[in-house]
Structure 1
Amino acid sequence: MKYLVRDKMLAIGDDYWIEDEDGRHAFLIDGKALRLRDTLELEDPSGRVLITLRERLFGFGFRDAMTLERDGKRLAVIRRKRMTLLRNHFRVTMSEGTELDVSGRILDREFKVEYEGELLALVSRQWYRIRETYAVDVVREEADAALMVAVAVCVIRMAEREREEGGAGG
């Protein structure tokens, strides 16, 4: 199932819908304003919070990771793994210890999410010609679609922040 995400919607305080490939509302991103750190909530169409995305700040405003929470408990932590000239790599460490690998051209919205070499989701702009939109294609039926969308939003946010702060991004 593909989910359509508008690209320039990540302003804190903004809310926006993520639609499925049939144009139905699948998830709502609720940007929580007036918080010390960036917080986004991924909700289902009925308003139930599925995943909370929090930016973790370390001394001097350095952003090291984003934390995903479900039902008030840590679900995963996303960190930069390594960087090459053309590709970014992020590691998603799940609370039970398993790891997902995110790699590709994050800033170009062309990357994949894998578990032990098996493709879970593919993020791409190629499927849609709508300006500033990308798709998260959850290719494994048993994969948690909300988690895949949250991971995509987080790694893009982290790569863009790094670029804005003068670091490399890709």
Structure 2
Amino acid sequence: MRFQIREKVFSIGDKFTIKDQFGEDRYFARGKVFSLGNKLYLEDMQGNELIYIEQKLLRLLPEYTLYKSDRPIAKVKRKFSLLRPKFEIESELGNFTVSGNYMAHEFSILKDETTVAKVSKKWFSFSDVYGLEVYYDELTEFLVALTIVIDQILYDKSNRN
């Protein structure tokens, strides 16, 4: 299944709309305003929280924890690297890695060496817009949340480390 993840430009706090390949709204992500560090909620269209994303503070490089039903399900850390962004992703869903080009505008998400999703960021759009192609439906919510975390780490001004 394919999705479009678009960050809203003129909003207070981070806000993303996620549409499916048919242009229908499927998910919404909103950031908590006036908080220390990034805190985002991935919700279905009825407003039910699916995944809560929280940035860990006082880290040399950005680190996020993903929660489902108040239980941590994954930790995403940016690793020090000179040439291209690298991530460490510890998850109860399996071992994930991110592989992509130098600017991380095109990357794949792999689980145990198998590509589970491909992500492509539009180069010349006014806001952050990603195409996300998910190959395993049972991982959809996690992969949408992970793509948002990667965007926050790479492109959010408060994460420029």
Contact 2:117–2:132 (CA under 8 A) maintained in structure 1: yes
- Cα deviation digits, residues 56-111 of structure 1 (max 9, x gap): 0116xx453111001111010001245352x3221210147x32001213744211
Cα separation, partners in 2 of 1:12 and 1:131, compared to 1, 3 Å: closer
Number of equivalenced pairs? 160
Contact 2:44–2:50 (CA under 8 A) maintained in structure 1: yes
SS in 2 for 1:5: strand
Cα separation, partners in 2 of 1:162 and 1:78, compared to 1, 3 Å: farther
1:39-118 equivalences in 2 (<5 Å): 39-58=39-58, 62-81=60-79, 83-85=81-83, 87-95=84-92, 98-105=94-101, 107-118=103-114
Q: Distance in 2 between matches of 1:163 and 1:111?
A: 22
SS in 1 for 2:28: strand
Q: Report the Cα offset of residue 130 of structure 1.
A: 6.3
What amino acid is the match of 1:112? S
Contact 2:66–2:75 (CA under 8 A) maintained in structure 1: yes
SS in 2 for 1:145: helix
- What does residue 141 of structure 1 align with? 137
Q: Distance in 2 between matches of 1:164 and 1:40?
A: 15
Contact 1:68–1:77 (CA under 8 A) maintained in structure 2: yes
Confirm whether residue 122 of structure 1 aligns to residue 107 of structure 2.
no
| RMSD (Å) for aligned C-alpha atoms | 2.9
SS in 1 for 2:144: helix
Q: Report the Cα offset of residue 14 of structure 1.
A: 4.3
Contact 2:152–2:159 (CA under 8 A) maintained in structure 1: no
Seq. identity, % = 26
Q: Distance in 1 between matches of 2:44 and 2:79?
A: 30
SS in 2 for 1:148: helix
Structure 2 portions without partners, runs of 5+: none
Cα separation, partners in 2 of 1:57 and 1:12, compared to 1, 3 Å: farther
Shift >6 Å, 4+ stretches:
none
Q: Distance in 1 between matches of 2:135 and 2:115?
A: 7
